[in-house]
Amino acid sequence: MSDRRRFVKLSMLSSAALLAGKSLNAATQALPDDKQYTTRKGKPVVVSTWDFGQVANAAAWRVLEQDHRAVDAVEAGVRVPEADPENQSVGYGGRPDRDGHVTLDACIMDEYSRCGAVAALEHIKHPISVARMVMDKTPHVMLVGDGALQFALECGFRKENLLTTKSKREWEQWLKKSEYAPQNNIENMLPGGAYNHDTIGMLAMDNRGDMGGACTTSGMAYKMRGRVGDSPIIGAGLYVDNEVGAATSSGVGEEVIRIVGSHLVVELMRMGFHPEAACRKAVERIANRNAGKPVDFQVGFLALNKHGEYGAYALQEGFTYSVRNDKEDRIFEAKHLF
């Protein structure tokens, strides 16, 4: 989002809050004085989950090239799949819950450990920007459901129908049997063969060496109404520690929440593990927690450390991630446990 548009939105938020007679405590997560927090010069890089991360990375890269903060880059980046009706796992066009409602989850975190999140948000195409507003303009970290929608509307976001004809038709097909069976790596399947989901998680480092992360999804297709996965949960679907690095996840959110996966990956990097090794250890933790049961679901982690090194690891074959820096613009396939 351009500075101009952000400025307009911020102005709208203030006016809306004033009109509603409410005072927003913007101080609680106020940006610290930048001078106190100046870090070394960094080498910009952005990484994100899945093949569709590549176009999202391109949008983020443009922001990094203009010397903006990593958190601005990741917000701009993940807005690309959020707006794409062909991407049925994120934002507009996302597959609905079992009752036909498209409900979106997202979170964002910056270099100062400020964070914002929304869960089970309906009718708003860009949940990541609502999460950004929660971070920037409220004393809270997470808003959910009707409260999140009310906040978004007060901020000036437009209410829209997010259920596209394609996703509606597929859901109506699903209703005939109503069998809830998550499928792995749906992004890599050909159209028509699949009905499940995944997520975009994006991590970036800017010119100053500061980090930011964002994660956004429409969640598991045909989930129970009110179900929230890992993606909007700080520590589960996303974690950023500006001293160490950042991590994000994709796959079956319940499994990620059980091990607070992204926080675990960052803590492993703090202990000295390379991003790929840290992701592998988190994946192994999930496998061990499920010992004796069929591990027929997918979880993948993606991590970026303060040196600009990145890596990923997944339970199953097929988890891909996209990387953009001054040398490469590539998609990699993650190694996998099974």
Both structure tokens of 120: 């089970």
Asked if 213 touches ligand GLY (CB under 6 A), the answer is no
Asked if 217 touches ligand GLY (CB under 6 A), the answer is yes
177 to 206: interface string for ligand GLY, x by CB under 6 A: ----------------------x-------
> CB of residue 226 vs ligand GLY: minimum separation in angstroms?
13
165 an active-site residue? no
> CB of residue 9 vs ligand GLY: minimum separation in angstroms?
26
- For ligand GLY, the closer of residues 63 and 256 by Cβ is 256
- For ligand GLY, the closer of residues 57 and 199 by Cβ is 199
- CA distance linking residue 73 with residue 209, whole number of Å: 13
Q: Are 102 and 90 in contact, with CB atoms under 8 Å apart?
A: no
SS3 269: helix
- For ligand GLY, the closer of residues 184 and 325 by Cβ is 184
Q: Which of 29, 48, 88, 250 touches ligand GLY (CB under 6 A)?
A: 250
- CA distance linking residue 319 with residue 279, whole number of Å: 12
Ramachandran bin of 222, using left for φ above 0, alpha for ψ from -120 to 50, beta for the remaining angles = left
> CB of residue 220 vs ligand GLY: minimum separation in angstroms?
5
- What are φ and ψ of residue 181, in 5° steps? -140, 95
Asked if 251 touches ligand GLY (CB under 6 A), the answer is yes
What are the counts of helices (DSSP H) followed by strands (DSSP E) for the chain?
9, 13
> CB of residue 177 vs ligand GLY: minimum separation in angstroms?
22
- CA distance linking residue 131 with residue 126, whole number of Å: 9
- What are φ and ψ of residue 260, in 5° steps? 45, 60
Asked if 320 touches ligand GLY (CB under 6 A), the answer is no
Q: Which of 94, 229, 275, 300 touches ligand GLY (CB under 6 A)?
A: 229
Q: Tell how strand 115-121 and strand 299-305 pair up.
A: unpaired
Which of the following is catalytic: 49, 138, 164, 199? Answer: 199
> CB of residue 315 vs ligand GLY: minimum separation in angstroms?
13
Residue 312: Cβ-neighbour burial (10 angstroms; 0-12, 13-18, 19+): buried
Which of the residues are catalytic? 199
- Chain residues binding ligand GLY by CB under 6 A are 199, 217, 219-220, 229-231, 250-253
